[in-house]
Amino acid sequence: MKIAVPRETAPGETRVALTPQAGAQLAGDGVEVIVQAGAGEGSSIPDDLYRDAGVTIAPDAPSLYGQADLVLRVGRPSDEEIEMLKPGTVLIGTLGVLSNPQLAVRLASAGITAISMDAIPRITRAQSMDSLSSQSTVGGYKAVLLAANRLPKFFPLLTTAAGTVRPARGIIMGAGVAGLMAIGTARRLGAVVEATDVRPVVKEQVQSLGATFLDVEMTDEEKAQAETAGGYAREMSDDYKRRQAELIAQRVSEADFVITTALIPGRPAPRLITEAMVRSMKPGSVIVDMAAEAGGNCELTEPGREVVKDGVTIIGLTNLPAMMPGSATQMYAKNVQTLVSHLVHEGRVTIDFGDEITRGATITHQGEVVHEATRSALGLDTDRAESSSGGAGR
């Protein structure tokens, strides 16, 4: 079996799906790892390091895809790249099909078995494969550094001969993996931090990092509905959003920086910061909107851009992990390597729908869209029976 790793083609993408170390661990026992020339350049990994690890270098994408049985990538393939894939090829990447379900249709029509890293179930034995968490960790860290870089004042409290400098005050909206990393990083830089989340269970985690949790009054019914079985936040009622907005509006006006991380899988990002809230902030304040790719948590966010509105810098960059490709690639490659080791047996990929991880992450197989949430997004039936299938790929 040949595992292929292409050079990413999305604008601004610097990561690569596999490091030389991970490639070396996957190679052997009938498995050959092939990397496209220059694939690791954005992550400061030259081709020679792959060669030293026993990885083969392919000169270009057509020669790479033409011999691939299993393709590992970071993001979605382009239409041109899908056309290069042989029917029966297994594709692993962060495909994001809930926001682009037609991609699943194209992959199914091409006869590709597609497995999405962002669809891996949030269960204990899949933690080492959870690239959403690993990349959110990188993004949360980088978001704070961006805020600190743009803010025209110190983060920490400083007592100097020139007087006392008060610490920066920040709000982190959303206390998932990205939010908790942002809280910890901002606190280590010396900022005073408040945080909010619809899930009351994260309060202790927020407080353990030295931040203040902003409690929005909730009914018992709202508490029960705030979190999905997979640990993700749910979209809340209009009444809850009103109460949340009232609390946030007061705090935002006093904040030097705000970092928003609120995402709902397969849905537009909830609007948490209104134009009026932005206007209430002090000149020089900073908002880093980590939900920009899904439309943004801030009403004035422009996805992919950094803008200044009413004296407030609003950063809507859509791929923060790609701004730290060294760490991001190292973590993502480990996630991918663990998933591949889970799927490959005796030199073959086994698609076993009796396995919870495989069933949850597989989007297309044998010409069909098999992922239930994606089928629902496409308006297809979701009552189809799943059966085990051993031996996709070679």
Catalytic-residue membership of 102: no
Query: Mapping DSSP to helix (H, G, I), strand (E, B) and coil, where does residue 351 land?
Result: strand
pLDDT of residue 232: 54
pLDDT digits (tens, 9 = 90+) for 140-187: 999 999 999 999 999 999 999 999 999 999 999 999 999 999 999 999
SS3 for 277-330 is: HHHHCCCCCEEEECCHHHCCCECCCCCCCEEEECCEEEECCCCHHHHCHHHHHH
What are the φ and ψ backbone dihedral angles of 169, each rounded to 5 degrees?
-110, 130
pTM, 2 dp: 0.90
SS3 content of the chain, % helix, strand, coil (to 5): 40, 20, 40
The one catalytic residue among 118, 128, 187, 232: 232
Distance CA 277, CA 166 (A): 23
Q: In sequence order, what E strands does the chain have?
A: 2-5, 32-36, 56-58, 70-72, 90-93, 113-116, 158-160, 163-165, 169-173, 192-196, 212-213, 257-260, 286-289, 306-309, 312-315, 344-345, 348-351, 362-365, 368-369, 389-392
Q: Hey, what's the torsion of the CAs at 362, 364, 368, 370, to 10 degrees?
A: 30
Catalytic-residue membership of 166: no
Asked whether the beta carbons of 186 and 178 are under 8 A apart, the reply is no
The one catalytic residue among 133, 135, 244, 285: 133
Bridge partners of 165?
158
> How many whole angstroms from its chain centre is CA 125?
19
Distance CA 298, CA 321 (A): 20
pLDDT of residue 198: 82
Asked whether the beta carbons of 199 and 175 are under 8 A apart, the reply is yes
pLDDT of residue 29: 73
pLDDT per residue of the chain (394 residues) written in tens, 0 to 9: 999 999 999 999 999 999 999 999 999 878 999 999 999 999 999 999 999 999 999 999 999 999 999 999 999 999 999 999 999 999 999 999 999 999 999 999 999 999 999 999 999 999 999 999 999 999 999 999 999 999 999 999 999 999 999 999 999 999 999 999 999 999 999 999 999 998 888 999 999 999 999 987 766 665 556 555 555 555 666 776 777 778 888 899 999 999 999 998 888 999 999 999 999 999 999 999 999 999 999 999 999 999 999 999 999 999 999 999 999 999 999 999 999 999 999 889 999 999 999 999 999 999 999 999 999 999 987 555 444 344 444 3
Domains detected in the chain: 2-129+325-392 (3.40.50.720), 138-323 (3.40.50.720)
* Antiparallel, parallel or unpaired: β 286-289 and 312-315: parallel
**Secondary structure letter of residue 256 according to DSSP:** S
pLDDT of residue 387: 43
The one catalytic residue among 21, 78, 109, 127: 127
pLDDT of residue 22: 97
Number of Cβ within a 10 Å radius of residue 127: 13
The one catalytic residue among 130, 197, 256, 289: 130
pLDDT of residue 346: 87
Catalytic-residue membership of 133: yes
Catalytic-residue membership of 250: no
pLDDT of residue 64: 97
Catalytic-residue membership of 73: no
